[in-house]
A and B are shown apart, each in its own frame.
Chain A
């Protein structure tokens, strides 16, 4: 009996995801680009799945790796690179996915505490309007498009 209770709990422990945090938000494919010497900024990308019944919004985050983390959008039109802070947050509708990737939305790390080098891992705490905080482990690696 005692063993089966332990098994019962172990089963649920095994369901705790290694990357995502809250039941409604799942994050995968996270990565951050290595930064040049002395760079003050970095970027992190990821895919956010909203598995809950309500629309949500990624509004920002924190990390021990940087002073500030903001949601930014980059656009290249007519050979001009435009950047903007997504002040109202990035919407992730119920049952939908939001992709943060090169050439589009990204988490901008401002005021890096140390250089991001390939092979390292940084921790980001994403902040959602409804789901609250979601902890994400982000490996630092070169852009796979290279």
Chain B
């Protein structure tokens, strides 16, 4: 397997590697949680911070185009925490559901909502041009921005975030995409601090977004 093919279509091998990576991460999260709770028993409550702890290995530099046709990079998001997720507009269920969920959380956050970047990155840039993304996103909260790029740029951001995607052929020359469905939560320094799962209950998701602002 060439490096190039690994970049454009993550293989099953890479998928299992990423699963392993995820288990290690989960183990890390459990350790962090255990440490926090033991600290909680020994310290006065005023010393406890809910500020999420950065977890290394996820996130990094990228160069993409937003749905208004402007160049964007990791620097564009810096200074504010971000909620970043991967998908595509041909996606019939998971992506519109996630976008609808994010829209409702934004409305629940009220005046704090604007303190977070919300980014939908397409893993299907051939169909999802900035124009297509812009029209699609007009159905949701306008603060959700759509990023797209070349195959290489898409592969790079997916690799930086450990996001999986793969093109699957369907009848009539069409295709669908398999992809990671979690929402990556990044702090204002662009460090990964946690994630929101697909269809995570609203209260839990909103609480995680609020923690990003601490």
Q: A residues touching B (Cβ–Cβ < 8 Å)?
A: 33, 35-43, 68, 70, 72, 74, 76, 78-85, 87, 102-103, 106, 108-110, 143, 145-146
Interface size grouping (class) on chain B = 35 or more
A45 to chain B, nearest CB (A): 10
Return the chain B residue nearest A42 by Cβ: B92
Are A146 and B100 within 8 A (Cβ)?
yes
Return the chain B residue nearest A83 by Cβ: B176
Are B178 and A82 within 8 A (Cβ)?
yes
Q: Which residues of B contact A37 (CB under 8 A)?
A: 135-136, 138-139
Is B207 an interface position by the 8 A CB rule? no
Chain A interface mostly? strand
When A and B form their complex, what is the total count of cross-chain residue pairs whose Cβ atoms lie within 8 Å? Answer: 94
Give chain B interface residues in 1-21, CB to chain A under 8 Å: 15, 19
Given A41-B91, A79-B198, A83-B168, decide whether A36 and B22 contact each other with a Cβ distance below 8 A: no
Q: Which residues of B contact A78 (CB under 8 A)?
A: 19, 22
CA distance A143 to B97 in the complex (A): 9
CA distance A106 to B197 in the complex (A): 21
B162 to chain A, nearest CB (A): 10
B29 to chain A, nearest CB (A): 13
Given A33-B93, A38-B132, A39-B89, decide whether A79 and B170 contact each other with a Cβ distance below 8 A: no
